[in-house]
Structure 1
Amino acid sequence: MNNQSTVEMFLDGFETILTDATSTGRRLTRDEIESRRVLGARAAQAGLGWRTLVRAHLVASRAGRPRAADPDSVLTVVEQAVDAFADGYEHAQRLVIRKEEAARREFIDDLLHGRGDPGRLAARSERFGLRLSRAHAVAVVEGPEKYDETDPVPRQVADELFARFENRRILFTTKDGRMVCIAPADQDDVLTHFAKLAYAATGQAQAAIGRPRPGTIGIGHSYEEALNALDVAQRMGLDEPVLRAAELLVFPVLARDRQALVDLVRNTVGPLEQARGGARPLLDTLTAYFDSGCVAAVTARRLSLSVRALTYRLDRIHTLTGSDPTDPGHRYTLQTAVIGARLLDWPTRPLHTAGTSP
Structure 2
Amino acid sequence: MVGVGRRRGAGGASAAPPPDAWLVEVANDASRDAGGVPVALLGDYLPLLADAAVTGRRPKRAELDAVGQLGRQAAEQGISAGRVVQLYLSAARRLWQNLPAVARSPDSERVRAAAAAVLHVIDEAVATLAEGYATARRDLVRREEALRRELIDDLLRGDSDLGALVERAEPFGLDLARVHQVALAAPSRRLPDTDAAISALEAVIFDRLGDRDVLVATKEGLLVAIAPADPAAADRIVPAVNPDNDLGRLMHRELDRLRHGHPWRVAVGRAHPGLYGIARSYEEAREALSMAGRLHVDDPVVNAHDLLVYRVLLRDQPAIVDLVSSVLSPLLQARGGATPLLDTLGAYFDTGGVATEAAKRVHVSVRTVTYRLERIKMLTGYDPYDPQHRFTLQAAVLGARALNWPAEPLPAAA
Q: Does 1:55 align with 2:109?
A: no
Larger Rg: 2
Structure 1 residues 164 and 292, CA, compared in 2 at 3 Å: closer, same or farther? Answer: closer
Are 1:191 and 1:209, in contact at CA under 8 Å, matched by a contact in 2? no
Correspondence for 1:24 among 55, 75, 98: 55
Q: Out of 341-350 and 129-138, give the one that drifted further.
A: 129-138
Correspondence for 1:344 among 403, 406, 409: 403
Give the 5 Å matches for 1:206-221: 206-221=265-280
Letter in 1 for 2:360: R
Give SS of 2:226's match.
strand
Give the 5 Å matches for 1:8-87: 8-65=39-96, 66-67=99-100, 68=102, 69=111, 70-87=114-131
Give SS of 1:341's match.
helix
Q: Out of 324-333 and 38-47, give the one that drifted further.
A: 38-47
Letter in 1 for 2:150: E
Letter in 1 for 2:366: V
Q: Out of 301-310 and 76-85, give the one that drifted further.
A: 301-310
Give SS of 1:47's match.
coil
Q: Equivalent residue for 1:233?
A: 292
Identity, % of aligned pairs? 45
Partner deviation per Cα, 1:162-206 (whole Å, 9 max, x = no partner): 344454422233433333322222186585055245236428544
Give the C-alpha shift of residue 153 in structure 1.
5.2
Q: Equivalent residue for 2:373?
A: 314
Give the 5 Å matches for 1:1-358: 7-65=38-96, 66-67=99-100, 68=102, 69=111, 70-148=114-192, 150=194, 152=196, 155-165=199-209, 167-186=211-230, 192=246, 195-199=249-253, 201-202=255-256, 205-355=264-414
Partner deviation per Cα, 1:134-156 (whole Å, 9 max, x = no partner): 12112223444443563655544
Structure 1 unaligned blocks of 5 or more = none
Give SS of 1:10's match.
helix
Distance in 1, matches of 2:322 and 2:254, equals: 42
Structure 2 unaligned blocks of 5 or more = 1-27, 103-110, 232-240, 257-261
Give SS of 1:94's match.
helix
Distance in 2, matches of 1:339 and 1:166, equals: 39
Q: Out of 72-81 and 175-184, give the one that drifted further.
A: 175-184
Letter in 1 for 2:39: E
Give SS of 2:42's match.
coil
Are 2:323 and 2:396, in contact at CA under 8 Å, matched by a contact in 1? yes
Q: Equivalent residue for 2:11?
A: none
Q: Out of 164-173 and 76-85, give the one that drifted further.
A: 164-173
Distance in 2, matches of 1:218 and 1:111, equals: 9
Are 2:200 and 2:254, in contact at CA under 8 Å, matched by a contact in 1? no
Distance in 2, matches of 1:336 and 1:298, equals: 20
Are 2:172 and 2:215, in contact at CA under 8 Å, matched by a contact in 1? yes
Q: How many residues align?
A: 354
Structure 1 residues 294 and 252, CA, compared in 2 at 3 Å: closer, same or farther? Answer: same
Give the C-alpha shift of residue 345 in structure 1.
0.7
Give the C-alpha shift of residue 25 in structure 1.
1.3
Letter in 1 for 2:145: E
Distance in 2, matches of 1:157 and 1:267, equals: 47
Q: Out of 187-196 and 319-328, give the one that drifted further.
A: 187-196
Partner deviation per Cα, 1:36-72 (whole Å, 9 max, x = no partner): 2222222322332222222222232234343325222
Structure 1 residues 164 and 252, CA, compared in 2 at 3 Å: closer, same or farther? Answer: closer
Structure 1 residues 214 and 167, CA, compared in 2 at 3 Å: closer, same or farther? Answer: closer
Alignment RMSD: 2.6
Are 2:180 and 2:277, in contact at CA under 8 Å, matched by a contact in 1? yes
Letter in 2 for 1:75: L
Structure 1 residues 16 and 288, CA, compared in 2 at 3 Å: closer, same or farther? Answer: same
Q: Out of 149-158 and 264-273, give the one that drifted further.
A: 149-158
Distance in 2, matches of 1:77 and 1:283, equals: 79
Give the C-alpha shift of residue 76 in structure 1.
1.2
Partner deviation per Cα, 1:278-334 (whole Å, 9 max, x = no partner): 111111111111112222233233333333332322222122111111211111111
Give the C-alpha shift of residue 81 in structure 1.
1.8
Q: Equivalent residue for 2:14?
A: none
